[in-house]
Amino acid sequence: MSCLCPATHFHNILARFVLGCCLIFASVGVQFALAHSATLRWASNTEPDLIGYKVYQGTTPGSYGLAVDVGNTTIYTTQNLQNGRRYYFAITAYDKSGNESSPSTEVSLQTPPPLSASIQPSITSVASATANVNEETFLADWKIAGVGNLDGDARADIVVRNRKTGDAGGWLGNGLTLGSTGLIAAGVATEWSIAGLGDLDGDGKDDIVVRNTSTGDVGAWLGNGLTLGATGLIAMGVPAEWIIAGLGDLDGDGKDDIVVRDTSTGDVGVWIGNGLTLGATGLIAVGVPAEWSIAGLGDLGGDGKDDIVVRNTSTGDVGVWFGNGVNEPTQTGVIGGSLRHWAIVGISDMDDDGQSDIVWRDTTDGSVVVWQGNGMNAPTTVNVLAASVPTSWEIVGVGDLEGNGRADIVWRNKADGSVAVWQGNGLNAPTTASVLAGSGPLKWETPS
């Protein structure tokens, strides 16, 4: 089974040594996990008189202050390692007569530095930084990075990112008009990408989860409106094949969790939200076929736990896994199928009934449809919100910008960069739309 905990993998180091004339180690490997532990694995011996193995550990090469008899097993996890230290390990084997082999070839690992090594970018004052969304440079250089409630006022806000400078900013939700804007972080290195928004610490404010595309590190900026809150590293050196697939509260504790997917094996795991530190982790599905992708998270069943919506890219089938924390889903099922040219563009509560709904976009003609959330069952209501919306407009987020319990749809024009919002009208076509930035035409602003 693949290791779910984000880890830095160390190459196996061949180690050969002999007990008497016959006991041979094949290999020793070390894996470091963020929970301040290291797991050693080695190949088993086949000699009939083998009794067990001993693991030696120290902080100086060739000098071991700790020896642990692990018995006849080929895996051992040592706990309570300190940050910022290099540890050295060797293994011996012993037989029924008490004979102990010479130590294996020594292996070592360097634990990560203390988490005070912050990912906080250098910040210029908002007073001296330009956050005017009406400038032409905004339309060309900025992208929408996410929609979430940064200030805890029950209205979703828009997070933007400058492709060239790395600056990250926020537009506070204000319904159909542009609210206050500000620079949250200036000059963030471009290898740090925004992976999602969610309330990791349960304070009612969504936090920004970031991922370093070079090192694999995962961090968070706690939501603080238009200013940068506390920052920290959640996980270091997460292998590139593990991607962040979404955020949502899978266990109903009021904190959003991070769903990860191993693109090489298909395994799906969960990191329980715990603010700026890594919470409990677990595998919830193993070896999921590659054609099943995670489309998003939302509480389709209305039980206070977010569920995972999956999509089969080959058949178009749509499925749901009921949220169950770090455990396997309590229930799974297919709720629709044969939707090959439709894309899921948002999952949110459109009609204020306590259950998330699924927003779809026809990739051929631009039409927008909503499925009313109905748990593990097919939707009871399927409504067309708009037909034939120009494909130059793309949906970049769904969230309640007004604070009325009904999610609104945020659009971006790929041609001129304009940003617009459709006022949520439940499962019905929106009656009002407005341009928040830019001057793109809204011929579809009152769709029928």
Label residues 429-445 b or e (16+ Cβ within 10 Å = b). Answer: bbeebebbbbebeeebb
Does residue 289 register a pLDDT over 70?
yes
Give residue 55's pLDDT band: very low, low, confident or very high (50, 70, 90): very high
Give pTM, 2 decimals. 0.71
Q: What does the alpha-carbon distance between residue 9 and residue 183 come to, in Å, rounded to a whole number?
A: 37
pLDDT of 25 > 60? The answer is no
Q: Which of 81-95, 147-161, 308-322 has the lowest mean pLDDT?
A: 81-95
The pLDDT mean for the chain works out to 82
**To the nearest 10°, the Cα dihedral for 289, 347, 242, 164?**
130
Q: How many CA atoms lie within 13 A of 145 on its CB side?
A: 27
Residue closest to 198 by CA, chosen among 324, 417, 347: 347
Q: Cα(144)–Cα(419) distance, rounded to whole angstroms?
A: 9
Query: Per-residue confidence at 104, pLDDT binned at 50, 70, 90?
Result: confident
Residues 6 or more apart whose CB falls under 8 angstroms from that of 30 comprise 10, 38, 39, 40, 89, 107, 108, 109
Can you tell me which residue has the tokens 């998330």?
356
Per residue in 312-362, pLDDT (tens digit) is 999 999 999 999 999 999 899 999 887 889 999 999 999 999 999 999 999
Distances (CA, A) of 347 to 159, 268, 430, 446: 18, 20, 17, 22
Question: In which residue are the tokens 């990112």 written?
Answer: 161
Distance CA 46, CA 43 (A): 10
Please tell me the predicted confidence (pLDDT) of residue 18.
28
In this prediction, residue 46 carries a pLDDT of 78
Which residues make Cβ contacts (< 8 Å) with residue 120, sequence separation at least 6? 185, 221, 228, 231
pLDDT digits (tens, 9 = 90+) for 158-202: 999 998 889 999 999 999 898 999 999 999 998 999 999 999 999
Please state which of the ranges 39-53, 360-374, 385-399 shows the lowest mean pLDDT.
39-53
Quote the tokens at residue 232: 């920290």
pLDDT above 80: residue 61: yes
Cα separation, 300 vs 156, whole angstroms:
20
Lowest mean pLDDT among 1-10, 160-169, 208-217: 1-10
Model pLDDT for residues 126-136, shown as the tens digit of each residue:
222 233 334 34
Q: pLDDT at residue 114 above 70?
A: no
The pLDDT-based confidence of 83 (bands split at 50, 70, 90) is low
Region 354-377: mean pLDDT is 94
Tokens, residue 53: 């193995």
Task: Give ∠ CA 425-159-429 in degrees, rounded to 5.
Answer: 15
Residue 418 scores a pLDDT above 70: yes
Q: Within its chain, how far is the Cα of 207 from the centroid?
A: 12
- Residue for token pair 């039409």: 367
The burial class, CB within 10 Å (0-12 / 13-18 / 19+), for 167 is: buried
Taking the C-alpha atoms of residue 428 and residue 89, their distance in angstroms, rounded to an integer, is 64
Distance between CA atoms of residues 246 and 310, nearest Å: 11
